[in-house]
Amino acid sequence: MESFKRIPAHIGIIPDGNRRWAQEKGYQKKDGYKYGIKPGFELYEMMIEYGIKEATFYGFTKDNNKREKEQREAFTKACTDAVELLSGKDANLLVIGNIDSPEFPVELKKYANRRVNFGRGLININFLVNYDWEWDLKNLIQNKCLRSADISRVDLIIRWGGRRRLSGFLPAQSVYSDFYIIDDYWPSFKQAHFINALRWYQNCDVTLGG
Amino acid sequence: MESFKRIPAHIGIIPDGNRRWAQEKGYQKKDGYKYGIKPGFELYEMMIEYGIKEATFYGFTKDNNKREKEQREAFTKACTDAVELLSGKDANLLVIGNIDSPEFPVELKKYANRRVNFGRGLININFLVNYDWEWDLKNLIQNKCLRSADISRVDLIIRWGGRRRLSGFLPAQSVYSDFYIIDDYWPSFKQAHFINALRWYQNCDVTLGG
């Protein structure tokens, strides 16, 4: 196990490229999502091994619901399947997303907006499901706090699939995050991706503006 | 003049690396800031030439005020000098920043929080001066809108100086921005930097989550 000068406390994961990966394989676009579950748990195990305290996975967003019905059903199922698997592991899960819209999967309501402990609780896992950055911020108007107020500042964001943008990922917690982009699609996750991200991050000059 | 398939309507400019540039030249860190003004106007001219409608320049932030007094004075002076020069050009200027704190330069108060037209008004220029992302968002609590509500969504953010982060730059307007990072320091601005950013941006797949 490699050692690093500095480890991020909280990592944001943007697992993009499932549809492009599926198309390259000759599958239908919707079929990409289910291949994103196994990589998520490989990464989960590595994060525990390296002592990461908190990780936020980008499930799907309000804007993603503009996609075709088959794709919507497929990414929603991948999210609920992932949580079912996680419930047999050692994590403290917090699901954040708009539960008042019909796109929020009913199976996940019991994990929404409060942290639920699984097993030995070795890592805090936040899962953004039917998340909407505007809904998150507008809660400041109604309730004087973010919907995602229980999610801490993100130190490092790793995005798969080559796009260089946040796509609405936790705008308040990402203000000082360092971004690491991986061109490979998420279902092609390799352990080296994560190790390379940590290698890069240890040399980032974290100043928070000072 | 090169033509592009698609041009960003609004570009965010993070002109970082002034201090590192100064140190490489054997100057004091504080001396880097004044060399950032000329590049800003070279870029301004290019943006008008290429039909960019709006640009937001990152001046300085509340967090930057943690730096040494000489540096603070130097970046504040660079901002006021830049605005004085801009007042002789053809732009509509909007300064956004916390004018109620002593770090806000009094000379710029007349341009704060309302757009002021200079000359033929060929481009909207937003200038973040003593800006604070938290102050911006917390206005949702007090006044039900962002402090930066008059600034539109940013399509492309170009950052000089190699860091891969937003450093608090307009969190709400940056949710779907594509990030282009230039390793050269800002005072080493070259026209090719901007052209390369536009070349890259024209091939970005802008989906807004759909």
A167-202, pLDDT tens digit by residue?
999 999 999 999 999 999 999 999 999 999 999 999
Determine the residue of chain A that is closest to B62 in CA distance.
A209
Chain B residues in contact with A168 (beta carbon < 8 A) = 175-176, 209
Task: Please provide the average confidence, as pLDDT, over all residues in chain A.
Answer: 97
Map tokens 């006021």 to a residue.
B80
pLDDT in tens, B33-57: 999 999 999 999 999 999 999 999 9
Indicate the domain borders of chain B: 10-202
Residue B151 has pLDDT above 90, yes or no: yes
Contact B174 A166 (CB under 8 A): yes
Conformation bin of residue B147: beta by default, left when phi > 0, alpha when psi is -120 to 50: alpha
Portion of chain B with pLDDT greater than 90, in percent:
96
Which amino acid, residue B135? W
CB pairs under 8 A between A and B: 87
Angle between helices B37-49 and B191-202 (to 10 degrees): 40
pLDDT-derived band at B100, boundaries 50, 70, 90: very high
> What is the least distance, in Å, from the CA of B50 to any CA of chain A?
23
Scanning every residue of chain B, which has its alpha carbon at the shortest distance from the alpha carbon of A135? B172
- DSSP SS3 for A178: strand
What does the alpha-carbon distance between residue A41 and residue A45 come to, in Å, rounded to a whole number? Answer: 6
Chain B hits for A165, Cβ within 8 Å:
176-179
Nearest to B171 among A165, A172, A208 (CB): A172
The pLDDT > 90 percentage for chain A reads 96
Neighbour-count burial of A184, counting CB atoms closer than 10 A to its CB (0-12 exposed, 13-18 middle, 19+ buried) = middle
User: Among A64, A141, A168, whose Cβ lies nearest the Cβ of B176?
Assistant: A168
Q: Which CATH number fits domain A10-202: 3.40.980.10, 3.40.1180.10, 3.40.50.1370, 3.30.1360.200?
A: 3.40.1180.10
Report whether B209 contacts B184 (CB < 8 A): no
Whether residue B171 and residue A168 make contact (CB cut-off 8 A), yes or no, is no
Percent of chain A residues topping a pLDDT of 70 = 100
Q: Has the ipTM of the complex gone over 0.90?
A: yes
The sheet carrying B123-131 orders its strands as B116-117, B91-96, B123-131, B54-61, B10-15, B156-160, B178-182
Residue count of chain A, please give it. Answer: 210
A1 pLDDT band, cuts 50/70/90, is: confident
Q: Burial level of A90, CB count in 10 A (0-12/13-18/19+)?
A: middle
What Cα–Cα distance (Å) separates residue A131 from each residue in A67, A103, A188, B148, B170?
Answer: 15, 10, 25, 23, 20
Mutation site for A-interface testing, chosen from B133, B140, B201 by largest number of A Cβ within 10 Å: B140
Q: In 3D, which of A12, A13, A18, A30 has the Cα closest to residue A187?
A: A18
Which residues, in sequence order, are bridge partners of residue B168?
Answer: none
B61 token code pair: 């932030």
Give the residue from A165, A170, A179 with the most B CB atoms within 10 Å of its CB, the best one to mutate.
A165
Task: Tell me the one-letter amino acid at B190.
Answer: K
Asked if pLDDT for residue B133 goes beyond 90, the answer is: yes
Under an 8 A CB cutoff, do A164 and B174 touch? no
State whether B166 and A175 contact (CB < 8 Å): yes
Interface test with A, best of B153, B165, B176 (most A CBs within 10 A): B165
